[in-house]
Amino acid sequence: MLRRRRSGRTLGGVNWSDFDAALFDLDGVITPTAVVHMHAWERMFNDFLAGYDDQSPYTDDDYFTYLDGKPRYDGVQSVLESRGIHLPYGDPSDDPSATTVCGLGNRKNDAFEKVLASEGVEVYPGSKLLVDQLAARGLALAVVSSSRNARNVLEAAGMLDSFPVIVDGNVADAEDLLGKPRPDTFLDAAAKLGVPKERAVVLEDAVSGVQAGRAGGFGLVIGVDRGAGREALLENGADIVVEDLEELT
Ligand SMILES: O=P(O)(O)OC[C@H]1O[C@@H](O)[C@H](O)[C@@H](O)[C@@H]1O
């Protein structure tokens, strides 16, 4: 836990005058939607795995180890590989009923979209506060999310206008950028903001996300522990770990 300091240019122990940009992950960092993704994956995988006699049920450990923060189909591949299940990759246009990597990913997306439409999206109050404070200090802000739903989530949360640069799963696909844990999407966001990586801060809740931050050589990597675990975040690339971004305000 960081000691809160409000003096000078320091917020929550971070000297923000050392930085010109903040690159925020979305799900689990700005909005509590990591939980929605988590539940949608759980429902889809448990239905799918029930068709196998020799597979144990999918658990939260599967989520944090193989899925958290990764692009949709990379996550599906990773879970299937860990269980020795081989399916054809298919194509992102696959119907959700297709028994392919892409079909399973799209099946989960149906569940995610239903929850989004019926329940809407909130914002973590501490995250909104930090975003507003950093914007007021003149930092350039971006969202860097693996999700193809990022724009919809930001819009539903009323935060779309807070981020001049959004690098999401669709941008990564269109620009051929490798997804987290590779650093490419974060580097792309920093370049679009015109800020050198050493002057940019990465804020991430997923192990794959802090790995991307470390691999990219960013000025500071802040882990937000929403379930991945403080130690896991520190071991994989976080310089500091908080439980909520309110600690940095
Ligand atoms: O299926 P989508 O919306 O493109 O999202 C892909 C991934 O996006 C990430 O932001 C989430 O942490 C993952 O849980 C999710 O699986």
Tens-digit pLDDT profile for residues 116-171: 989 889 999 999 999 999 999 999 999 999 999 999 999 999 999 999 999 999 99
Distance 30 CA to ligand 1 centre (A): 14
Q: Would you state the pLDDT for residue 12?
A: 72
**Nearest-angstrom CA–CA distance, 14 and 57:** 42
From 63, 85, 119, the end of a domain falls on 119
**Nearest-angstrom CA–CA distance, 161 and 1:** 30
Catalytic positions, written as ranges: 25, 27
SS3 87: coil
Distance 120 CA to ligand 1 centre (A): 17
- Can you read off the two tokens belonging to residue 4? 């809160």
From 67, 87, 119, the end of a domain falls on 119
Distance 38 CA to ligand 1 centre (A): 9
Give the residue, by CA position, lying nearest to ligand 1 atom 2. 147
Give the residue, by CA position, lying nearest to ligand 1 atom 1. 72
Is the Cα dihedral 196, 7, 247, 31 positive or negative? negative
From 67, 86, 119, the end of a domain falls on 119
Atom of ligand 1 nearest to the CA of 26: 10
List ligand 1's pocket residues with C-beta within 6 A. Answer: 27, 34, 37, 67-69, 71-72, 75, 109, 112, 145-149, 169, 206
Predicted complex: ipTM over 0.95: yes
Residue ranges, the chain, pLDDT below 50: 1-8
Is 72 in the same domain as 19? no
Q: Would you state the pLDDT for residue 9?
A: 60
**Structurally, how many domains does the chain consist of?**
2
Asked if residue 3 belongs to a domain, the reply is no
Q: Would you state the pLDDT for residue 63?
A: 95
